[in-house]
Amino acid sequence: MSGLVLVVDDRREVRELLTEELESVGLRVVQAADGVQGWACYRRSEPDLVVTDLRMPRSDGIDLLRRIREVASTPVIVLTAQGDAATSVLALSCGAEGFMTFPDDLDRVIDRGRRLASRGVPELAPADWLAGSSSRIRGVREQVARLAPRSSPVLVRGECNRGRAAAVAELHARGPWAFTPMLRVEAGQAASGPLPGSGFIHLEGIERLAPPEQARWLLAIQSRDLQPGAEPREASLQRIVTSTAADLEGLVREGAFNAGLAFLLARDVIDVPALRDHIDDLRELVPTLVRRLARLAGLHDARVPAPVVTALRGHLWPGNLDQLVRVLQHAVQRARSGVILLEDVESALCDPESGAHSLRGERQQRRRDEILQLFDDCQGNLAEMARRLGVSRGSVVYRLQKLNLPLRPGLA
C-alpha cells in the first residue's frame, strides 16, 4: 500500500496544494491546521512522513517536531515562507530531516514523497514497464534501441513514477555500460566534488540544479566533448543521461536554466508518455506485469480476463505505472486458481490506500481548470490572482509553472 503523509499548516490553500501534489505521486494524505491538531493526527494515524509549517497558532512546527522526536524517528520536513539560518539550525538540531522554503522548495518535498511512494513497488525488468504496441510507446523503445550504443548525452522527459526511470534503465541495460553499475545522482543533492570520469551517470531532476551546479556540469561535459583530436561521441568512456518532468525550454526562456547546458544535455530527447496517453497499451502491459508479479509472489502464472483490463482502462492513473503496479499487486496477492478477479481489482481501485481512485484525478483536473479560468479572468496578472485566492504570489507562480503557463513579466 502507498505511504501516508501528515500535512500540517494553518493555511487551507497550502494544505490543499501539498495534498494534491503528494496524492499525484500515489501517496495518502491527512491534514491538520496547527501543531495541536497535528499531534493528535500523528498519534491517531502514525504517518510515514510529516510535512509541517513552521509558524502556526497554538503550537508551531518546532513544538510538533519535538513532540514527535520524543516518541519516534518519523521523517519531518519543516516548511516556512521566510526562512533564516538560525531557525534552520534549530529545526535540524531538533531532528528535522529538512528545512525548506515554500513554495520554492516544494518540488523537493514532492521528490521526498515520491521516494516514499515508490517504496515497496517491485523492481521489474526495464522492458516490462515499456510493454505495448501503440505508436508512442513503440517510439520510446525505438529511440532507446537507437541511442543506447552511443556515448552522447540523452534527455529523458516525462511525468513521474517509473516511466522515465524505465527508459533510463533500458538505455543502460542495452548499451556498452550494461556490465557496470549505474550511478544515480539527484540534481538537488548533487555532490560538490569532482564528477566521475567514466561510467553511466543518471542525473535525475535536472531542473533542480542550482546555477553553480549547472556551470559545473556544463564545464564537465564540454571538457569531455572537446578533447583535442577526438570526436565528441568518442571522447570519453562516460555516458550522461538526464531526466526531468519540467519544461526545460521554458526554464531557459525564463533565464532559470543555462542555455548552453540545456543544448548539450538535450542533443537527443526521449519523451515518455503518461500512462493515460497510451491507455490502450494496457491490453499488453497488464498481462506482462501480472506475469512478473505472479512469479515474484511464488505463482506459476496468473490470467487476466478481458473485463479486468477494461476496468483498468477506465481510470486516469495520475500516479502512472507505480499506481498500476500497486493495484495489480493487490489483485495478484488475492488471485485464486491463477485468475485475476474483477472484484479484487475494483476493491484496489476503490481503496483510498491504493492511490488509484479515478475521483482523485477528476478532482485534480477540476483544480487545474479553475486555475486556468482564473488566469484568463485576471489576464495573467499574478498579483490579482494571488489576491483572489488569498495566497502568496509564490504559490500562484508554482501552480502556473506546473501547468506550463507563461509568466507575464511586469504583472506581479
pLDDT band at 190 (very low <50, low <70, confident <90, very high): very low
- Percentage of the chain modeled with pLDDT above 70: 81
Please state the pTM of the whole predicted model: 0.62
Please tell me the distance from the alpha carbon of residue 68 to that of residue 218, in angstroms, as a whole number: 43
4-118 falls under which CATH superfamily? Response regulator (3.40.50.2300)
On the question of pLDDT at 72 being above 70, the answer is yes
Contacts 24+ apart (CB under 8 A), 12-19: 13/389, 13/390, 13/391, 13/395, 14/53, 14/102, 14/391, 14/395, 16/367, 17/103, 17/106, 17/395, 17/398, 17/399, 18/51, 18/106, 18/109
Residue of higher predicted confidence among 188 and 399: 399
Is residue 239 scored above 50 in pLDDT?
Answer: yes
Does the fold of domain 126-271 match that of domain 4-118?
yes
pLDDT of residue 362: 53
Task: State the chain's mean pLDDT as an integer.
Answer: 80
First to last CA, the chain: 42
* Spatial CA neighbour of 213 closest among 191, 236, 198: 191
194: pLDDT confidence band, cut at 50, 70 and 90? low
The mean per-residue pLDDT over the stretch 336-365 comes to 63
Cell numbers linked to 347: 476493491
The pLDDT score that the predictor gives to residue 6 is 93
Rounded to 5°, the CA angle 276-280-285 comes to 90
The pLDDT of residue 305 is above 70: yes
Q: What percent of the chain has pLDDT over 90?
A: 21
Phi and psi, residue 244, nearest 5° = -160, 155
Query: Who has greater pLDDT, 269 or 129?
Result: 269
For residue 132, pLDDT over 50 is answered with yes
- pLDDT confidence tier of residue 376, bands split at 50, 70 and 90: confident
Specify the higher pLDDT residue, 124 or 233. Answer: 124
* E strand spans, 116-272: 154-157, 182-186, 199-204, 238-244, 268-271
Answer whether residue 409 shows pLDDT above 50: no
Task: Give the per-residue pLDDT at 42.
Answer: 92
Could you tell me the pLDDT band of residue 253, with boundaries at 50, 70 and 90? confident
pLDDT of residue 391: 67
- Give the domain 126-271 fold: Rossmann fold (3.40.50)
> According to the model, what pLDDT value does residue 36 have?
93
Q: How far is CA 293 from the centre of its chain?
A: 23
For 191-206, b where at least 16 C-beta lie within 10 A, e where not — what string?
A: eeeebeeeebbbbbbb
Instruction: Find out whether 353 and 1 touch, Cβ atoms under 8 Å.
Output: yes
**Which class is domain 359-402?**
mainly alpha
Strands (E), 263-327: 268-271
CATH architecture of 275-356: Orthogonal Bundle (1.10)
**Poorest-confidence range of 92-101, 114-123, 190-199?**
190-199
Q: Decide: helix, strand or coil at residue 26.
A: coil
Q: What letter would DSSP give residue 279?
A: G
Domain ranges of the chain: 4-118, 126-271, 275-356, 359-402
pLDDT of residue 189: 53
